[in-house]
Amino acid sequence: MKLERPVVATAGVAAVIAAIAVAGSTASAGFVSPQLSVAVAVSGDAPQSSTSTSGFRNADGSYLYDGSLTSTSGSSWFVNWNLTGSDTVAQPGSPSITTNFAVGNTGDVARTFQILVTYEAPVQVAPDTGYAWRTTLSGVLASNNGGVASLVGLIPSMFQGQINGTGVVSNNPSAASTTTASFFGTSVNDYVGPIPNGPNIATIGYLMTFSLSAHSTAVFNGSWVGTVVPVPAPGAAALLGLAGLTARGRRRSV
């Protein structure tokens, strides 16, 4: 699927890329944060990955991680990230991880990218609760040399939200090709359902799969967030149903 967007200045794209490359560069000394793993596979190159337990702890208790991976066979692509994950020990009701990436294809041919993010977010899910999940995704696509830049989501989707390593929802924003720079999104999709490999949550994350044209850059911004919601216990639901039937029977007998 392709993407659509109004035009934005290329200089603005460069500023966003620079910010993603350098933000959050200071980790909390001696502090072990939840583990964040970023694995990148790019067509024509060897897979790479980066794992960190030294995120910067923000004032609100969340953790900030930054990093980058580049081509092992010449300077033909890069992936920079600046991701914020929630502290589920302190805030079990809202596990979350952001989607802030700058991805560049500086080579002469289109490349397929797969970016897998896995974040430790342990939550003991109570029997009477569930989670509603939401993915949001937007960004900017830019041509680096005045050619035609294109960004296409591939199977399973441009963004697949995951819980415990299993995909549960897709998000496929549409972006039109551009010779300068343009926005796409914001695209939103929700998931309300059982926790795969549950009942508890061990990790959250996402898989991004897309094709990016030569000499092009895509900047992604978004999030994958769960919100706790009450779920009636089976016994309570049965009692509510019985109470409803009794009330209806009484009304009929009057």
- Per residue of the chain (254 residues), give pLDDT as tens: 333 332 333 444 454 444 444 444 444 445 679 999 999 999 999 999 999 999 999 998 999 999 999 998 877 999 999 999 999 988 888 999 999 999 999 999 999 999 999 999 999 998 888 899 999 999 999 999 989 999 999 999 999 999 999 999 999 998 889 999 999 989 999 999 999 999 999 999 999 999 999 999 999 999 999 999 887 655 544 444 444 444 444 444 43
- Asked if the structure places residue 2 within a domain, the reply is no
Angle formed at CA 214 by CA 208 and CA 220, multiple of 5 degrees: 35
From CA 105, how far away is CA 151, in angstroms rounded? Answer: 11
Number of domains into which the chain is organized: 1
- Per-residue model confidence (pLDDT) at position 232: 63
Which range marks the domain in which residue 244 is found? 10-253
- Asked if the structure places residue 5 within a domain, the reply is no
The overall pTM is greater than 0.85: no
- Asked if the structure places residue 207 within a domain, the reply is yes
Peptide bond into 122 cis (omega under 30): no
From CA 78, how far away is CA 62, in angstroms rounded? Answer: 26
| Distance separating the N- and C-terminal Cα atoms of the chain | 60
- Asked if the structure places residue 175 within a domain, the reply is yes
- Per-residue model confidence (pLDDT) at position 28: 47
- Asked if the structure places residue 135 within a domain, the reply is yes
Fill in the DSSP letter of residue 30: T
- Per-residue model confidence (pLDDT) at position 128: 84
Peptide bond into 227 cis (omega under 30): no
- Asked if the structure places residue 1 within a domain, the reply is no
Fill in the DSSP letter of residue 193: S
- Asked if the structure places residue 3 within a domain, the reply is no
- Per-residue model confidence (pLDDT) at position 187: 97
- Per-residue model confidence (pLDDT) at position 146: 87
In a 3-state reduction of DSSP, which class is residue 247? helix
- Asked if the structure places residue 45 within a domain, the reply is yes
- Per-residue model confidence (pLDDT) at position 169: 98
